[in-house]
Amino acid sequence: MVKVLFFAHLRDEVGEESVELNVTGKTVAELKQLVAEKYDVQKLDQAMTAINEEFASNEEVIKDGDVVALIPPVSGG
């Protein structure tokens, strides 16, 4: 199992701070697609991703026990 953390508006859209998903062996892109479909989340393609607190590309493969954070772009001034 993989723990997926949601930040900012993603947390509000999903309704949870984190979820456990069986996405071992999937890429980050596949995880984003699964989350978008399962939780009806918009604009995940723009979210940055970190695996075990290190930024990861969409091609990175997720391993069992990883902690994946989905971080939307932030603006402010």
pLDDT in tens, the chain (77 residues): 999 999 999 999 999 999 999 999 999 999 999 999 999 998 888 899 999 999 999 999 999 999 999 999 876 65
The DSSP symbol for 60 reads P
Give the predicted TM-score (pTM) of the model: 0.92
Cβ neighbour number for residue 7 with a 10 Å cutoff: 15
Which of 49, 8, 12, 15 minimizes the C-alpha distance to 30?
Answer: 49
pLDDT at 45: 85
Residue with tokens 């062996």: 25
